[in-house]
Structure 1
Amino acid sequence: MPTAHPVAELYADHHHWLHAWLRKKLGCSERAADLAHDTFVRLLDREGLVRPQEPRAFLTTIAKGLVANHFRRQKIEQAWLETLARLPQAEAPSPEARTLILETLIAIDRQLDALGPLVRRAFLLSQLDGLPQAEIAARLGVSVPTVKRYVAKALVACCFADAD
């Protein structure tokens, strides 16, 4: 008799538990179901999955990352909706453009999150606050050439993310 796929076994043994755990965290059964599903999809995307010794801890680790991403996305969506609400009606983008802009903001956030905190902070101070490099260097306690490298690294990460 063939052995079951490790993900199938994890699913059969722990899906109900994971869904209940996520439901407690999120307060929403439907969203919990989505994230439980996403957890197992992540496992299917992995090559060479071995059976974890502590399956619930293993699944919890993956699910926590998905929950964090969910809340992060919610914050970005909320900020985007607030920005749209402040725009005059004549300047409001089309529904298609709104969706594309939101997806772009989420992709940029993901790219910036992958950078170190100083790189991210230097980039945001430069691009959003418009601070000169010397002031950014003073705030971060680094040299101006380091600020230049940080900003360049962040720009490359954001602008050429799809080139990978």
Structure 2
Amino acid sequence: MMRTDEQPTITGYDRRMYAIMNRREAAPLYATEARRRTVVVAHIVLTAAGIACELYSVLGDERWATFGLLGLLLPWCVATGVINGATRGLLELRVRALDERQRAEKNRVAARAQYVMMWLLLAATVCTGLAGFAGVEIEGLIFPVLFSVFVVHWLMPLWLAGLMAADEPPEEDLPDEEV
């Protein structure tokens, strides 16, 4: 058991993941708040399209939907990487690899995601119940609603972290050294 005064051991995996999540090649894609919001919205749209394709391929037995899902996969992964870069891997890095400020930010994102999901679950429950009262066969709604809510629950912390990420301070121009 680890005592509270001991520092957690940072492994080679933690160092590699930290280096990957802090690469700056994609920084222009998330340098401003507007760009970060655009990437998050694009990720939400790609996710919604992916959910629709998955549901069409499973419930509607449509082959084109499977190919649509495969076509959405690459841009979805790129958008995920951009959001992870904007947050410096806040949600992907292990807690032991984060400093105190990052741990507090991760907890804040998790708390806000839980709050938002609570209201989304309530809305899904109410809408499904109202559909049942309106005569819609609820059995046909259970899987699509549960699948969609699961995916949103899984991605909500990433989306909120991307929306909550602050602009990086501008790099200071260092004076040229005299030789």
TM-score in terms of structure 1 length:
0.30
TM-score in terms of structure 2 length:
0.28
If each structure's helix is expressed as a fraction of its own residues, which one has the higher value?
1
